[in-house]
Amino acid sequence: MAGVSLPSEPLPWLGAREQFAAIAQLRWRIFANSLRTVRGRMEAVSWILIGLVFAALGIGGTFGFAVAAWFLTSRQKLGWLALVLWGLLAYWQFFPVMATAFTETFDSSNFLRFPIRYRSYFLIRMAYGALDPTTIIGALWLMGICAGVGIADPGLLPWAALLLATFGALNILLARVIFAWIERWLARRKSREILGIVFLFVIVGIQFIGPVIVHFAGRHGRRAPSAMSAVAATFAPAERFTPPGLAAAALDAASRGDFGITLGSWALECAYAAIFFWLLDARLRAQYRGENLSEGARRAPAAAVAKVTVREGLALPGFSAPVAAVFEKDLRYLSRSGPMLFNLVMPLLILVIFLIGPSNVARRAEHGPGFISFAFPVGVAYAILILSNFMYNCFGVEGVGVQFYFAAPVRFRQILLAKNLLHGSVIALETFLVWVTVCLVLRHPPGLGLTLATLAGALFAALVNFTVGNVMSLYSPKKFDNATFGRQRSAGMSALAMLGVQIVIFAVAGVTFGVTAHYGEIWLATLILLAFAAAAFAVYVAVLNRVDRIAVERRESLIGELSRAQ
């Protein structure tokens, strides 16, 4: 081709510095080229807004942690700094899973396609971990703790800087280890199911901590503080050998001039970091050597191949065959996805925890069952909020298969109608289960007026989400694997639009419920929300009639975005 010439000699093996420079230049060019499109500029705006939220969280937390560290240091209670460091460690390890819904993620294992050394690959993975928003915020909070200790006792500043820097490096390695090994376990179906069950029990167990503590305090009365002290004294020796406990113990020993204990605690922290480094190295080295954990079925012998019978597809009364086919396909996707089913179960679990809490039992005794029966509309609202993650990226699970929609004799109007029908069915099922849960726990069903108003509000919210979600699914799609945890489900602009729509919906429904309940005319909420739902339905039909033209105009962008590697 004109203007292209091959080098006469083979290219030299690039060093780590040149490879890092090439990667940085590549990422910059990808970002700069994305700004040439409307979608890219919208994504950039969403990143800026989300970045401001993270910046506020980081700066505010820095001041808060600095004040806490200053207070504990000035009161000579540095041992209690372990509680602060435990909170920071919990944030550092658990927040990234939730933050992926609002931040752009990049699979750095894609660099294995290029001829790079293992050392460079390892450093690249660590660099991407260090540039994660969670890591940046955690580093700011550690700086705040270091500043608080230094202001209260300037002599401890060098020790605080050394110990907290080691603690930060340990957290970075631990976060990389967790994600690397979870990714490996999720690559196999059996381990994925086991890990999903464990994760479910952990999340549910965390929710019961508050009610258990309140129940324990109420049962033991005045003896509760002494009982809690006894429990704390039992676990205190073991806690001192954890990374937060070691850092706090080292600073406490340094404040007393016992530098032997300080160096010993720091050495144990370094040992933890070395163990995490070894675990991460083992996982990344296996990836670098070409480990493939695909679940492809082993080819069966010719004689063992049985005759495959084709059964008829699902029939939906009142809908065409293409709508029923897409509905059945997405239903199978949903039923085989552990993370998606987990998200659908969570609203019921949270509702049960909310209703059985001791504080709500006291409220029922004081105000009667009608007061807490507003848990029904709150539970339905939370269920719709969880499901909206999927409404705003309807084609995310299709991947490269989205191109078959353009080749098949089917309209995009029918495709999106089927997807909306599935989401509507899930909302209806969730609403029924929430109503049953409220009835079983409270032993008193919500009033008829409140039930009808909640159903009208759910209809209004669903139609608005369907309308905006269909548009964003075509204008801002993102490939998504529904079998993985901790991955972003929608593009940044879609997440921002989803947040804005939910704020508007909840504001309208909340004001309607509040005003009508205040005047004792809750049945008026049903009429008002049905009027809003009728207007939303008219807009939904108008948008649905235009999606075919939008899909044709956006077909190259849609196929290209959903076909690229993550």
3 φψ region: left (φ > 0), alpha (ψ -120 to 50), beta (else): left
Residue 225 clears pLDDT 50, i.e. is over it:
yes
Please give the pLDDT value at position 100.
47
Residue 2 clears pLDDT 50, i.e. is over it:
no
Q: How many CB atoms lie within 10 A of CB 292?
A: 7
Q: How many CB atoms lie within 10 A of CB 458?
A: 24
Distances (CA, A) of 521 to 348, 445, 513, 517: 28, 18, 9, 6
Nearest to 471 by CA among 545, 408, 411, 532: 545
Please give the pLDDT value at position 368.
47
Give the model's confidence band at 228: pLDDT under 50 very low, under 70 low, under 90 confident, else very high. Answer: very low
Please give the pLDDT value at position 107.
58
**Any long-range contacts for 48-54 (C-beta under 8 Å, 24+ apart)?**
49/496, 50/102, 50/103, 50/492, 50/495, 50/496, 51/133, 53/102, 54/133, 54/136, 54/137
Please give the pLDDT value at position 459.
93
Quick one: what percent of the chain has pLDDT higher than 70? 69
Q: Which of 102-106, 481-485, 540-544 has the lowest mean pLDDT?
A: 102-106
3-state secondary structure of 184: helix
Please give the pLDDT value at position 8.
43
> What's the CA gap between 240 and 226, in Å, rounded?
21
**Any long-range contacts for 502-507 (C-beta under 8 Å, 24+ apart)?**
502/385, 502/388, 504/464, 505/460, 505/461, 505/464, 505/465, 506/381
Please give the pLDDT value at position 312.
63
Residues 40-81 pLDDT 10s = 676 677 677 777 877 888 888 889 899 988 998 888 888 888
Residues 402-431 pLDDT 10s = 888 888 888 889 899 999 999 999 999 989
Residue 396 clears pLDDT 80, i.e. is over it:
no
Residue 542 clears pLDDT 90, i.e. is over it:
yes
Contact yes or no for 410/323 (Cβ under 8 A): no
Give the model's confidence band at 529: pLDDT under 50 very low, under 70 low, under 90 confident, else very high. Answer: very high
> What's the CA gap between 343 and 196, in Å, rounded?
12
> What's the CA gap between 238 and 261, in Å, rounded?
16
Contact yes or no for 143/62 (Cβ under 8 A): yes
Residue 523 clears pLDDT 90, i.e. is over it:
no
Give the model's confidence band at 6: pLDDT under 50 very low, under 70 low, under 90 confident, else very high. Answer: very low
Contact yes or no for 106/115 (Cβ under 8 A): no
Please tell me which residue, 313 or 124, carries the higher pLDDT value: 124
Nearest to 167 by CA among 71, 81, 63, 68: 81
User: pTM, whole model, 2 decimals?
Assistant: 0.59
Residues 366-378 pLDDT 10s = 444 444 567 788 8
Give the model's confidence band at 1: pLDDT under 50 very low, under 70 low, under 90 confident, else very high. Answer: very low
Residues 245-282 pLDDT 10s = 888 888 888 888 888 888 988 999 999 999 999 988 88
Give the model's confidence band at 543: pLDDT under 50 very low, under 70 low, under 90 confident, else very high. Answer: very high
* Residue found under tokens 């010993």: 264
Q: Select the highest-mean-pLDDT range: 402-406, 443-447, 504-508.
A: 504-508
Please give the pLDDT value at position 196.
61
Tell how far CA 550 is from the center of its chain: 30
DSSP secondary structure of 92-107: HHHHHHHHTTTS----
Give the model's confidence band at 463: pLDDT under 50 very low, under 70 low, under 90 confident, else very high. Answer: very high
Q: How many helices (H) and strands (E) does the chain have?
A: 23, 0
Residues 552-563 have a mean pLDDT of 80
DSSP 319: S
Residue 359 clears pLDDT 70, i.e. is over it:
no
